[in-house]
């Protein structure tokens, strides 16, 4: 037994031996600031979730989750994956050229969204009308679509602050939005008693505010022009990413599409309450990934395989510990956060938390693949995964109802990560050869 423990400790030390200790300390300090984001989010949730649970019905929680899932299929067409392209060029071009790229893609996105918004709005109207949906349409879809179209621009601020190693500014943008959106929604839900309408209107108002701040940051002291050559190159790179990103969305959002067809809004509400609380684990873990994300991009571009392995081991270990902790505490957490009103959602939370952890592992492989600009293979992986995912959701939802849908999300991410692992391994085997 002692020999096994000694060997295990030695293997752990070997995993971290090659990493720069001073860099690790610096990254952990940054992680401390990034961790303020989930800490603030969780603190706000402790305060706000019981209030929302008191003033919103299970059906309204279900509708809220359904709108978010439905709109997520259209969000990709608002941002066109330009932020992903922007990240992939960060360490490949000069600062001056990078700024010109940012101006070009942001201005083009503005023009494009003026055209796409009405198309999306009426597209959702016809889908809800002709699919015999029990979900109300106006004004909820307008607010959800409006927030989605405006919210993409603050993403560029987040990218800049993360890639430049400025976690404090990142914290101010992300947590500032969260705080303002929650308190605006609470006010509208509780004081005028606007229910779900107030919940969504509060978010929409704050999205408008952050949009104005983001545009001021992006366009300040720069020539406002769209450079055709830069735009052409960006479009050539993102074209394979668009269908790939669209095909990835079912893993996150198709669950509510299937749940809505079961025509049980109350149970869909319990599922979404469990899902939202389980995703706190993802929110808590994501800052660790974000801290090392610039290094992942750099190591992938430099083909530093050993450093990537060690970072991957570190991040994966954290996710396992987090899931085990959640399983122990989830009944108490949900009882407290929902004021004992929606304890039935524990069964869904304990399944979906595994999905939340797998999303972190997925993010690591995703960053490597994007850094390597393997866009065609990226498309193939997501296409295969989307087919498997939709099939799993439909089949397991049909035979096992809401709990089957929860298990389908876990199986779908396991399949996707397996394909990612095969692609990354194949690429780096060529490097070694």
Q: What token pair was written down for 279?
A: 């995703």
Other Cβ atoms less than 10 A from the Cβ of 332: the count is 10
Q: Would you call the peptide bond into 139 cis, given omega within 30 degrees of 0 as the criterion? A: yes
> pLDDT digit string (tens) for 362-392?
988 988 888 887 777 877 888 888 899 999 9
CA dihedral 403, 405, 408, 413 (to 10 degrees): -110
| 12 has a pLDDT exceeding 50 | no
> 213 with 43: CB under 8 angstroms?
no
Query: Is the pLDDT higher at 271 or at 310?
Result: 271
Q: Which of 40-49, 63-72, 208-217, 416-425 has the weakest average pLDDT?
A: 40-49
Query: pLDDT band at 27, cuts 50/70/90?
Result: low
Q: How many CB atoms lie within 10 A of CB 25?
A: 10
> Confidence class of residue 220 from pLDDT cuts 50, 70 and 90?
confident
Asked whether the beta carbons of 338 and 269 are under 8 A apart, the reply is: no
Q: Residue holding tokens 């095969």?
A: 422
- Contact 294/162 with Cβ under 8 angstroms? yes
What pTM, to 2 d.p., does this model score?
A: 0.74
- HSE-CB at 347 with a 13 A cutoff on CA atoms is 11
- pLDDT tens figures, 112-144: 999 999 999 999 999 888 887 888 888 999 999
Sign of CA dihedral 64, 69, 74, 78: positive
């Amino acid at each position: 037994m002692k020999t096994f423990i000694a060997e295990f400790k030695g293997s752990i030390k070997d995993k971290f031996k090659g990493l720069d200790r001073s860099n690790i300390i610096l990254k952990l300090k940054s992680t401390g600031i990034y961790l303020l984001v989930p800490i603030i989010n969780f603190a706000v949730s402790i305060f706000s979730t019981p209030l929302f649970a008191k003033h919103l019905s299970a059906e309204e929680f279900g509708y809220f989750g359904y709108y978010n899932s439905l709109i997520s299929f259209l969000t990709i067409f608002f941002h066109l994956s330009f932020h992903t392209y922007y990240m992939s060029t960060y360490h490949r071009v000069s600062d001056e050229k990078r700024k010109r790229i940012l101006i070009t893609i942001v201005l083009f996105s503005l023009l494009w969204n003026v055209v796409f918004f009405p198309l999306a709005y009426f597209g959702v109207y016809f889908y809800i009308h002709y699919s015999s949906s029990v979900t109300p349409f106006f004004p909820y879809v307008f607010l959800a679509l409006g927030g989605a179209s405006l919210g993409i621009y603050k993403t560029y601020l987040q990218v800049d602050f993360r890639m430049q190693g400025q976690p404090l500014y990142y914290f101010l943008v992300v947590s500032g939005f969260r705080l303002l959106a929650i308190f605006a929604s609470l006010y509208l839900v509780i004081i005028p008693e606007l229910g779900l309408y107030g919940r969504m209107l509060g978010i929409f108002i704050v999205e408008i505010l952050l949009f104005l701040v983001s545009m001021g940051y992006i366009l300040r002291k720069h020539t406002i022009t769209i450079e055709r050559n830069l735009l052409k190159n960006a479009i050539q790179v993102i074209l394979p990413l668009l269908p790939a990103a669209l095909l990835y969305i079912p893993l996150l959002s198709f669950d509510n599409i299937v749940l809505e067809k079961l025509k049980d809004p109350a149970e869909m509400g319990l599922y979404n309450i469990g899902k939202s609380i389980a995703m706190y684990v993802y929110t808590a873990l994501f800052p660790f990934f974000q801290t090392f994300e610039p290094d992942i991009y750099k190591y992938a571009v430099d083909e530093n395989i050993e450093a990537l392995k060690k970072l991957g081991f570190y991040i994966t270990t954290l996710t396992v510990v987090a899931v085990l902790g959640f399983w122990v505490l989830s009944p108490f957490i949900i009882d407290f956060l929902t004021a004992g009103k929606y304890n039935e959602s524990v069964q869904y939370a304990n399944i979906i938390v595994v999905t939340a952890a797998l999303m972190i592992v997925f993010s690591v492989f995703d960053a490597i693949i994007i850094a390597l600009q393997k866009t065609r293979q990226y498309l193939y992986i997501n296409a295969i995964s989307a087919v498997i995912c939709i099939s799993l959701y439909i089949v397991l939802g049909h035979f096992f109802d809401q709990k089957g849908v929860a298990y389908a999300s876990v199986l779908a991410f396991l399949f996707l990560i397996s394909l990612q692992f095969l692609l990354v391994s194949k690429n780096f085997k060529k490097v070694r050869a």
